[in-house]
A and B are shown apart, each in its own frame.
Chain A
Amino acid sequence: MAEAFLKNAWYCAGWRDDVGLGQKDLVARRIAGESLLLYRTAEGGLVAMEDRCPHRSAPLSLGRKEGDAVRCMYHGMLFGPDGACRHVPGMDKIPPGADVPTYAVCEKDGWIWVWMGDPASADRTLICDAYDPHDPTLTLRTNSIRIDTNYRQEIANLADLSHISWVHDETFGGTDRWGYIRPRHSRNPRGIETKYVVRNIPAPRFAKHLFPADARFDIQVHVRLSVPCNFILNFRIHQADGETSGDARGKVLLDTYTSQAVTPRDENSLDYYFSWGTSKETEFPGVVDLMYRTNYEAFLEDKRILEGQRQRQLEYPGAPEIDIVHDAGPAQMLWVLDKLLAEESGAGAAA
């Protein structure tokens, strides 16, 4: 059996503002079963290291920043941004092995990314392309949430948007049409890409009051999913064009963009960093705030169902689960993940 988490992958460790320059900005993160400390040096550079003092395992995130170094506030050992121990109070020499492992870390598209494998093999071209909240052509607002589930369930949730009709009936939904989409997914080495149109649907519940009751819309969906679980979506709302196939051609009413990075903390919980907003071109006053609140509400809907699902799965270990027509996306995305996991564990092709 392969490991639960990929090593050779970039994991989102939060929004770039999550790690500041302040004295107290020692940020603890749990990523893929490991505990990390993140901080910025005086020059603003990012440091990611194991959040564990090699002496007696105290969290370094309970320590103190000193220039570009961090001091463990249990017995005062001082570590540089390269993880090397610089000083042990009361000793002239540094004991062998008193180093903290570090991780390759960088910023891209407003997110902080950490490579969980050997830092020497960190390949920046493997970071997913996302919509940057600082992109001058977009207005995006960011947020995060924790969900107590295994990230494979989150992958399955994001690779099959038919659940919008049911889980998000009170927010994004308000029509059963999402339950009838049957998109084709195209695979790439690290994920899947999916494009489709949901046609002739009423306004989503959260915006229903803004439109005439008989207004109908086409939603052009373009999703890029990549390992471990990054979901980059352009969700474009068109006036319904009455067509039954092809791209939506009606007038674009709202062009929305969302970047969502799901980072497994361990096998039972994950951190979810997400943004949503519109192009500047289609933005109108108040709409991004409404989307911000709705998005958070909707993700609480996901949290409720995913945590309930996880609870049942733990209560019924190994219970068979049947497939339905909406499982092509989840199965394909999990296949990509499992193939990469199997390659890492040296087992060759995915079993």
Chain B
Amino acid sequence: MNDWIRVRITERRMETDDVAAFVLEPALGAALPAYEAGAHIDVKLPNGLIRQYSLCGTPDRSGRYEIGVLCDASGRGGSICMHENVRLDDQIEISPPRNLFPLASMQERALLFAGGIGVTPILAMAQQLARLGTNFAMHYCARSTSRAAFRERIAVSPFADRVTFHFDDQPETVMDAKALLASPEAGTHLYVCGPSGFMDHILNTARAAGWAESNIHYEHFSAPAGGANGQDGFEIEVADDGTIIPVAQGQTALEALRSAGFDIPASCEQGICGACITTVVDGIPDHRDMYLSVAEQEANDCFTPCCSRALTPRLTIKI
């Protein structure tokens, strides 16, 4: 399980009407672990839920973390709780950062696409790339100027000239993804985060234009509609055996399997090494790993129980 870190909210401000930014600093003095752009943390909310939020601050300021939270009234209570119940000077617990959306180690150029609150990891990336001196361009889509979180921070940043805003209510700013993605190059990497419709649009356009899968990087900040997401619980049924194992909120499938007496190999437990790959015979996994290719994930015939979850209430697996 996570080694939870107790942090204090040292700054809380409204970025837009519905996005609150929180700055977290260690409650006990010890420095927070360093992280790279794209990393996220788990946050234990006062109401018991656990939610993931991308770190959006400049990655080298290890003294503090910053997250941006969109209040989603139709959500399942995580963001509302953050907005209503987490105040300045409050203490909460967070996990150490994990990065499932890292920048490629070598690239000549990066193209960043952010949709809505998906800007949080993308902003961290822009800051890191600017510091590294890597050539990049960022496209930030939002409903309107007033709904674009971190717009002011971007405007005063040293990379302001690399960021193009696209606002739904300003037709002259409309984004032409096809033109922007028309010429894939081996040294150019694409990073996308935003709502699923936005992501599908960018990713499909890129694939149609011939982008290599290895140059495409993305992170869903919310699971596809209708499915379980976040850290919600689900069930695992062991085929041939019939045992049904509940996977609790905040628990990994691997942990649940182990506590039920089913041991399977695992090593990194972050979805990197593929040691725990397990056959899925029924149900749809919510793939969170970096091991399987897109085609392998879409086949939905296996998953990595160390980090992946389920989009259906139950997954039937073979051990």
Contact = CB atoms under 8 A, between A and B. Distances in A.
A325 B291 CA distance: 6
B273 interface: yes
B265 A335 contact: yes
A331 B275 contact: yes
Nearest to B270: A323
A349 B261 contact: yes
Interface string A268-287: 00000000000000000000
Contact of A335 (B261, B268, B275): B275
Interface string A183-200: 010010000000000000
A332 B264 CA distance: 9
Given A323-B267, A327-B268, A184 B273 contact: no
B267 A331 contact: yes
Contacts of B267: 323, 327-328, 330-331
A324 interface: yes
17 contacts: A182-B274, A184-B277, A323-B275, A324-B272, A325-B291, A326-B273, A327-B267, A327-B268, A328-B273, A328-B275, A328-B277, A331-B265, A331-B267, A332-B265, A332-B275, A336-B265, A350-B263
Given A332-B275, A349-B263, 15 more contacts: A182-B291, A184-B277, A322-B268, A323-B270, A323-B275, A325-B272, A328-B267, A328-B273, A328-B275, A331-B265, A331-B267, A331-B273, A335-B265, A349-B261, A350-B263
Size range of the chain A interface in the assembly: 10 to 19
B27 interface: no
Interface in A168-221: 182, 184, 187
Contacts of A324: 272-273
B185 to A, nearest CB: 20
Interface string B270-285: 1011110100000000
Contacts of B264: 335
A184 to B, nearest CB: 7
Q: Which of A182, A323, A325 has the most chain B CB atoms inside 10 A of its CB?
A: A323
Interface of B: 261, 263-268, 270, 272-275, 277, 290-291
A339 interface: yes
A302 to B, nearest CB: 22
Contacts of B291: 182, 325, 328
A350 B266 CA distance: 12
A37 B42 CA distance: 58
A331 B291 CA distance: 14
Instruction: Describe A's contact surface by its main secondary structure.
Output: helix
A325 B274 contact: yes
B303 to A, nearest CB: 13
Contacts of A325: 272-274, 290-291
B273 A323 contact: yes
A324 B274 CA distance: 9
A66 B279 CA distance: 59
Nearest to A339: B263
Contacts of B266: 331, 335
Nearest to B291: A325
A325 B275 CA distance: 9
Interface string A329-346: 011100110010000000
B99 to A, nearest CB: 12
A328 B261 contact: no
Contact of B274 (A322, A328, A350): A328
B268 A323 contact: yes
Interface in A277-334: 322-328, 330-332
The 10 closest A-B pairs by CB, nearest first: A331-B275, A335-B265, A323-B268, A331-B267, A328-B274, A323-B273, A327-B273, A332-B265, A328-B275, A349-B263
Contacts of B277: 184, 328
A331 B276 CA distance: 9
Nearest to A351: B263
B203 to A, nearest CB: 21
Nearest to B258: A349
A350 B270 CA distance: 20
Nearest to B319: A187
A323 B272 contact: yes
Nearest to A192: B265
B36 to A, nearest CB: 13
A80 B287 CA distance: 63
Contacts of A330: 267
Contacts of A326: 273
A331 B270 CA distance: 14
Contacts of A323: 267-268, 270, 272-273, 275
Contacts of A187: 265
B214 to A, nearest CB: 10
A158 to B, nearest CB: 16
B23 to A, nearest CB: 29
Contacts of B274: 182, 325, 327-328
Nearest to A333: B265
B262 to A, nearest CB: 9
A328 B265 CA distance: 9
